[in-house]
Amino acid sequence: MCAYAAFQRCVYSHAACVYIARSVLVGQFLLFSLCSKRFFAYLRGMEVRRNEKITFRCSALEKAALSEQAARCGLSTSEYCRSLSLGGRPRERYTEEERELLRDIARLKGTLQRLNNYFGGRQYREVFEENRTLITELQKILSR
């Protein structure tokens, strides 16, 4: 029996296996599906000792690819494989340069929205006509 949650029974309903897990720490019954994100989030919140070892074979290229992807996500290879096997989708971490670019894009989006709100409707047409006359006058001056 696990120190944190004991699976008491399995209830089959509509081809979905639902476990009633009993929390030993809290002493309450919880319903979880077989691969429920809530269940794994529940277990992640606890200090779980990971002393069981699973070994699998892969090629050198696959191992290098797993290590590279884990590094891009900021996880160890075992944490990355564990997350994938439990149905998770680890996300790549952004570099500082990418974060700065995203901040710039967000600022530009806000500026464009403010300009759109300011020049919306009639004001836009008036400003457009003013700019068109200014451009034609500047072109006349430059062509002399």
Q: Which has the minimum average pLDDT: 11-25, 46-60, 86-100, 123-137?
A: 11-25
Residue type, 104: D
For residues 47 and 25, the model is more confident at 47
Nearest CA to 54 out of 81, 87, 90, 89 is that of 81
Instruction: State the distance between the two ends of the chain, measured CA to CA, in whole angstroms.
Output: 92
Q: What is the DSSP letter of 14?
A: T
Per-residue confidence (pLDDT) for residue 121, from 0 to 100: 58
| Most confident range, picked from 45-54, 112-121, 128-137 | 128-137
User: Each residue of 67-93: pLDDT tens digit?
Assistant: 999 998 888 998 899 888 888 888 888
Q: What is the mean pLDDT of residues 122-137?
A: 76
